[in-house]
Amino acid sequence: MVNLNNEEMEQERSIEDERKYVVFRLEEEYYGIDINNVKGIEKAQDFTRVPNANYYIKGVINLRGEVVPVIDLRKRLGFHEKEEDGNSRIIIVQVHDMQVGLLVDSSSEVITFAEDELDSAQTMKDSIADDFVKYIGKKNDRLIILIDLMKVVGYEVEEETV
């Protein structure tokens, strides 16, 4: 049996309570996705359009021999479309057994949040894309909107019915 003193237990608990997020920008705001779902970050590239796809599907890309659908996160969250530039990135995420790309304006860093730096998304309840917000992260003087990846990708219905 292992005995930890209070300080050691608090340290252990704080490590467990920390969450890491890949931070990216849309418009002038910062957003984050749980790093456990992120498989990589790629420069934006040419997309192959998919006929009759949802309005927010930018197309598909060939990523090392695998066809990966790409969601235009600007459109999905209700922002105006923007042409890709040299800063545009595709964040490759794993959702269940499928890889999906998320087109963002730029991606800059990984931030670790302690549990007390995360606020419930209830503060965003009147927002256009409030369903997609999981938490609001507070780090130094920055607010970072942490999105619910499953809802953004469209798996919320499947999860509720399974």
> Residue 79 corresponds to which tokens in the numbers above?
């922002």
Q: Where are the domains of the chain?
A: 18-153
CA atoms within 13 A on the CB side of 55: 8
What's the pLDDT score for residue 114?
A: 93
What is the CA angle 63-78-125, rounded to 5? 120
What's the pLDDT score for residue 129?
A: 54
Indicate the pLDDT class of residue 56, thresholds 50, 70 and 90: very high
Is the whole model's pTM more than 0.75, yes or no? yes
- Report the CATH number of the 18-153 domain: 2.40.50.180
Distance (Å, whole) CA 63 – CA 25: 22
Q: Is the confidence at residue 57, as pLDDT, over 70?
A: yes
Q: Minimal CA–CA distance to 36: which of 93, 86, 101?
A: 93
What's the pLDDT score for residue 123?
A: 59
Indicate the pLDDT class of residue 74, thresholds 50, 70 and 90: very high
Q: Is the confidence at residue 6, as pLDDT, over 60?
A: no
What's the pLDDT score for residue 8?
A: 47
Summarised one tens digit per residue, pLDDT across range 107-147 is 989 999 999 999 887 655 555 456 788 999 999 889 999 99
Per the prediction, the chain carries an average pLDDT of 83
Indicate the pLDDT class of residue 80, thresholds 50, 70 and 90: confident
